[in-house]
Structure 1
């Protein structure tokens, strides 16, 4: 039987192009003299406030002040670097902030919008001197032109740093976030902070801490009534009660299936070379799943807990077999699993468990290279727009530097209070370098989000969260897994905990099927590219539901082509990516679907500028259409657009969509409007929100599908035309296409 496999080596078609840059001069909302006049009292007030702090709260006289940017100055080229240098202050972080500016340029009416608050650190005397000199600053002084970029200057107080409601108890375990990297933290900030806490009567050893980017995450036992004093330490960025681990109980409980025998396969995994890790509650020795699962005890782990073991068995079962169908024997697993038990003690009883578990996971990922990783656990904490949690920061940093496809369950609080944001995806599902997986209520055609599945949006950048959904079970249709007994039996359960490994199983199936023909970034892109959304809200289901079988992903109809591009691009470079079409004009309507994914280093201390890499795509449908004679390149047409997740640019931040590391869209065109269509790809790079050019090229994966119903041999025509460039990606292991 003829099979039209997806086409690879699309990157061979890419070519460098030159694009004219630049634009007109920027019109500022304030003149230099207006900016100087309005900022002087703000700076002097902030200086007075930090001068009034206890000396012990300012390590070596250092203090932190917030500089809020006017919303028109959010691009990396508008970063006020010269002003910061001239003032003698060092940027240590930032956060998104919603404001209504006093004025906008070109006499436009001010409106509430998102902007960035920069945190800068310097000796208190530096802020004092800056405030004294500002009233007489000359217009041509170094950095003076950047004054108009500042909207506000404030010294953050304890009320700005304490997150959420504090407990009623006398003592609590706090999570403290400091403006400190690993170098300044150990040598400078932590010793001063320890002395400051001792002055308050709080003992601390900081054994449990994580450094990521410019942040230090600490665990601290302290009296609740000292929270304000602890937050007064000027280098403290945030303080909250330590979140607890999600309760790993099924969101739905259903009866087991009496009389239903479960016969597991006896064959080994299809591709035992694939490396898969699960971090969860464990799998007991001797359990039937240990034919494919290796139970591993994490370093320093305590005794196993029965409830966690049951959860771990269910997660591993979902990764091996997906949702079990009592009418169909389970298929042979695609890959084996290393299951790390990282949980112990009674569920939710240990206030220190969150950092303990994260430490166990990080140790493994540091020492062991894994291609696939599943996390169906994490803090029971909805994400925040203005801060990144330790779990997200640590995992995103690790995933950016390794060739790993991670699936993370979004959590089961989708029925929480929407006004308070308690129904939003839970940490660490906001990782931009992982797949955040939600749950739908049925594997059948008429599906919708399972009510318990937490919803988006994610943080900007990273708005499209969940990335996708898969069947996770519902009260009327539970998710079936292998039970905890030593004799194989069905167990009925449900939750995003099982949707995530089910998606990852599909990824391992693609890997087993195609071997090295597709890298892990391309597999992630394929999963998103193949989703179906129908009319569901993007905030509820992300890009949509993953396909039910591999055929939908890897095979094309005769009137369809699907091309995989796996390439690299250097900073500031422009490349042109052709969309393969047959010779001659296409007739009727033509659908083009495109998906772009890439991994990116992150700056967790700058959540509003979290991703360091940005790929901007420009679609040019017809290579002979030019609006102006002086035009260097053909006319462009909106494809991905300047909106993300249904939000306009004003609702996000200027150019925020350009920093999303996953873009996906489908557009329909008349065949006559297409002639040698292309996507122009441009690599933007930034560091902590300012301009930056890294040395390393960025890897990307792009999938393009073209469907022309009036061209019944489209696939064959394209294969013939590009015979020396494109290659069908054929399976290396003969496995069934049907799941």
Structure 2
């Protein structure tokens, strides 16, 4: 895991002053204080070339190109620090171009992109010159330009098929999923009217790749299909952007493809985007890849959920999720070997594992069926024929399908954070580590989650919180739940602005929750001995509370909180102590019914820039799901309906801020 590093810039005089402070000679009071602050750093030095050059592959040209193609990342303008960082100046960028030219290379300036002050640009270099290029001081990193992940092209021979006739086309008002892949067969009856193909590339289609694009599209429209199955009308529409193969004449097709995704997503109003493709590069703990940074920003600004495949490198030495599955505002999907609800499922061996980056450490977020050698995935073509393969490329569209169906059921309550919260909250957990199977396997029918068993109730809260504000959400624990043990679990999801210049503190917004089980249980502190507070139920023992206050004891401002255990699913408070603000948080507790009275969950909003807490940030929208279960079989659902009339069951429109799902 990355440690915190600070990158500073200065001229010769400022560096000389820094050296003087470190030597500790003839310092004034301010300089002495600064020197003490500098003691927290274990090392201060210039960047090493091997740190800037982040690539272990040979510095040789591909057979398709005479030069090696790299991606360079340049620091923001050092004279404009803090929030709203500006990119390096044009004059300094020209110096970079001149320096690369002196090495016999070329900077593809027309492909330059700026993300949060960082400048990303392709660079062409002769063989063996990358290390020299890394000596340019304002260069943050340079790495071999990755290619797009190869698309499986297994041939289709005598194949089974689904049953005829083909179902009616999806309704024009059905939820839409955007797909970026290798194209589909326009003439197939099973996609006709339900999938619209848009050609972004002028390259001729590869018919082996079209089978992959069709499989992704079929999974988005119909979910997991089987030979002989009679398909029903798709509950989802798909817009399939054919973007593979892209223009590869200059080796920068990855930049072209991301530009196309940005453009199309910005022009459409769809909430869900399926990405079963991406750069052929695993996540590292340095600054986020351009794909991750750009898509995280789009997801936050436009309320979009990017459903991304984590990659099929699980059986290689680079077994870690692939870009952009490390998005903190997306939903990454790994592959398991059995479809829901079959038992004894596990991670497919090829499916990449986590951790992700700070802000989304638990990756993949969820698992879905991707098949394996014993039970391969059935890939549907537009003509109804089926072929077999396996991969995370097929698990991701299954998740996109289910969440698109859910978005239709939620109606105007649907948002990217709500879909993400549902996916995680109801995922079927596995005994494996979260680094292997994430939060668990996605259930195949979220409609079933909209109905509660008699002994439980689930509530969805959707709200907006302002900086420094604390919102308290009363949990649906009725007074009739007066015996036995009670399980309370919750999931909170939101989208955060991000700072690609900060590898460790990438997310700029943080939501912290605190469980307060009993509204009348307060802590009293003796001002002369604050290490031994006393808990008093002020409802049952008002005389005791009054006596302590007369003796000078100080009552807490809020009811007593319940501390959360530290672990893979620890509370945000535990994670924040490590400097990591997660955009999906989970907690759960088991309590005696007698210890619960008007329990509430407090949510507090914090913001930071460069690791420093800030003020004046925009409000953040979030979704909170809470499930209360009586382990003694008490009919919680019926009791909650009677006691909390403000709550209404979905899909009845809700006009209050508190929204319920049961």
Count of aligned pairs: 606
1:434 and 1:123, CA in 2 relative to 1: closer, same or farther beyond 3 A? same
Could you tell me how far apart the structure 2 residues matched to 1:461 and 1:327 are?
Answer: 44
How do 1:532-681 and structure 2 match up within 5 A? 532-629=428-525, 630=554, 631-639=556-564, 641-644=565-568, 654-657=577-580, 659-681=581-603
Corresponding residue for residue 334 of structure 2: 438
Structure 1 position 472, deviation (Å)? 0.9
The Cα shift of 1:209 comes to 2.3
Deviation of residue 731 (structure 1)?
Answer: 6.8
Shift of 1:260: 4.5
Where do residues 479-558 of structure 1 align in structure 2 (5 Å cutoff)?
A: 479-483=377-381, 487-558=383-454
Question: Which residue number in structure 1 is paired with residue 301 of structure 2?
Answer: 401
CA distance, structure 2, for counterparts of residue 129 and residue 260 of structure 1? 75
Contact 2:149 2:279 in 1 (8 A): yes
Superposition CA RMSD, Å: 2.6
Contact 1:586 / 1:711 at 8 angstroms: preserved in 2? Answer: no
Aligned to 2:649: 728
Are 2:272 and 2:306, in contact at CA under 8 Å, matched by a contact in 1? yes
Corresponding position of 2:638: 716
Distance in 2, Cα, partners of 1:514 & 1:127:
58
1:296 maps to 2:198: yes
Written as runs of structure 1 = structure 2, the 5 A alignment for 1:183-262 is 183-185=86-88, 187-249=90-152, 258=159, 260-262=161-163
| Aligned residue in 2 for 1:56 | none
- Identify which of structures 1 and 2 has the higher relative contact order when contacts are C-alpha pairs closer than 8 Å and 6+ apart: 1
Structure 1: gaps (5+ residues): 1-95, 98-114, 733-739
Q: 1:701 aligns with which of 605, 610, 623?
A: 623
**Contact between 1:396 and 1:431, CA under 8 Å: does it hold in 2?**
yes
Q: 2:609 aligns to what? A: 687
- Give the conservation status (yes or no) of the 8 Å contact 2:60–2:128: no
How do 1:32-43 and structure 2 match up within 5 A?
Answer: none
**Given the superposition, is the C-alpha separation of residues 545 and 133 from structure 1 closer, same or farther in structure 2, using an over 3 Å criterion?**
closer
2:652 & 2:338 partners in 1: Cα distance?
30
Provide Cα deviations, 1:104-146, integer angstroms capped at 9, x if missing partner: xxxxxxxxxxx31111122233213432465322234596263
Q: How does 1:275-424 map to 2 (within 5 A)?
A: 275-288=176-189, 289-298=191-200, 301-326=202-227, 328-344=229-245, 351-417=251-317, 422-424=318-320
SS state of the match for residue 586, structure 2? strand
Partner of 1:70: none
Residue 41 of structure 2 is matched in structure 1 by 150
Aligned with 1:118: secondary structure? coil
1:76-95 pair list within 5 angstroms: none
Query: Which residue number in structure 2 is paired with residue 162 of structure 1?
Result: 53
Gaps of 5+ in 2: 62-66, 78-84, 526-553, 654-662
Change (3 A) 1:627 1:614: same
Give me the TM-score of the superposition, normalised by structure 2: 0.86
Indicate if the aligned counterparts of 2:571 and 2:587 stay in contact, CA closer than 8 A: no
| Shift in alpha-carbon separation, 1:199–1:611, aligned structure 2, 3 A | same
| TM-score, structure 1 normalization | 0.77
